[in-house]
Amino acid sequence: MKKFLNDPAHFVDEMLDGIYRAHPQVTYVNDDKRCLVVAARKPGKVGIATGGGSGHLPLFLGYVGDNMLDGCAVGGVFQSPSADQMHEVTKYIDQGAGVLYIYGNYTGDIINFDMAAELADIDGITVKQVIGNDDVASSVVGEEHKRRGVAGIFFVYKVAGAAAANMLSLDEVTRLADKARANVRTIGVALSSCVVPEVGHATFSVGEDEMEIGMGIHGEPGIGRTKLAPADAVVDEMMQRIFAELPAGNGDEFAVLVNGLGGTPKEELYILFRRVSQLFEERGAKVKHVWIGEFATAMEMAGASISVLKLDAELDPLVAAPVHTPFFSHIKA
């Protein structure tokens, strides 16, 4: 293991200390650095919170900021935050209009977020939840409730954040966030493993000449392991599965996120997007919004994911809205 570390047991907390020192627009509550919140609150606005394990930056806490999220609870590397931590975040970000939880479809997160919502209810805070499940490789059509939440949650954050910034009600923010969730699909491909600092060795192995399409961001098994193929062929196989659920026809508009998993150069991500763009052009569809880079990683895993959101007149302006967070900024075109 080659990493810039002091004590592996302090990896998460020292990382968080660095973030707070670098970005004064975020702070923490209850003297717990794992309860990250915006420093400036807006009275009457719906609060939006997320949470999950560390090791995925900029997911989850990197999207706390202007016009996106208001708070985030983080756990250890690939570990869920506690219900108490999520509850503390909820109490801080509630400004009288209620709180929306947006998080990925993982058992530990569901249990702890449900408990936090129950604690918030005792405090008189109304909480609603939208659970991301965009990974098409993790379950079949008809069993979407079993699918993992991965990089496509970025679009759910963006839509919900813009809706809340427009001072819409909790019910309306929840409706729009859920609409985004229902219209986004993601599939990933891994070329290598990653190393959890406290473990000290690779969590799984991928052969030098192999790839695994559909592998999850914690190393969950994918659709199958095959020999490494040319980039265009890899994209064709990935997008075939997305188009099967989000058909792209003449005049349809989409937003696309090509996401690096932590160990893939940006140059390679643009090679992948080149083919994605060609496939939309062949169908007469338009890619209206594009983001390429690292948005949901798995430590230093080599690989990438492609997320596609189908746009309409309601979702498009919310996706296009400007945001500014410590890890992501977007100026409306």
Give residue-wise pLDDT tens across range 50-99: 999 999 999 999 999 999 999 999 999 999 999 999 999 999 999 999 99
Q: What does CATH list as the number for 8-182?
A: 3.40.50.10440
Per-residue pLDDT reduced to its tens digit, 146-163? 999 999 999 999 999 999
pLDDT of residue 6: 96
Q: Is 218 a catalytic residue?
A: yes
Secondary-structure class of domain 184-330 per CATH: alpha beta
Cα-Cα end-to-end distance for the chain: 43
Phi-psi region of 121 (alpha: psi -120 to 50; beta: other; left: phi over 0): alpha
Rounded to whole angstroms, the maximal C-alpha distance in the chain is: 56
Give the active site residue among 10, 23, 56, 145: 56
pLDDT of residue 204: 80
Q: Is 10 a catalytic residue?
A: no
Does residue 219 surpass a pLDDT of 60?
Answer: yes
Give the active site residue among 10, 145, 218, 324: 218
pLDDT of residue 169: 98
Share of the chain above pLDDT 70, in %: 100
- Between CA 26 and CA 321 the distance in angstroms is 21
Does residue 100 surpass a pLDDT of 60?
Answer: yes
Does residue 17 surpass a pLDDT of 70?
Answer: yes
Q: Which two tokens stand for residue 133?
A: 């499940």
Whole-model pTM over 0.75: yes
CA-based nearest residue to 129, from 155, 110, 154: 110
Residue 200: band (very low, low, confident or very high) from pLDDT cuts 50, 70, 90: confident
Identify the helix (H) or strand (E) that includes residue 212: strand 210-213
Residue 329: band (very low, low, confident or very high) from pLDDT cuts 50, 70, 90: very high
- Between CA 256 and CA 269 the distance in angstroms is 12
Per-residue pLDDT reduced to its tens digit, 126-142? 999 999 999 999 999 99
For CATH 3.30.1180.20, the residue range(s) in the chain are: 184-330
For CATH 3.40.50.10440, the residue range(s) in the chain are: 8-182
Q: How many Å separate Cα 198 from the centre of its chain?
A: 23
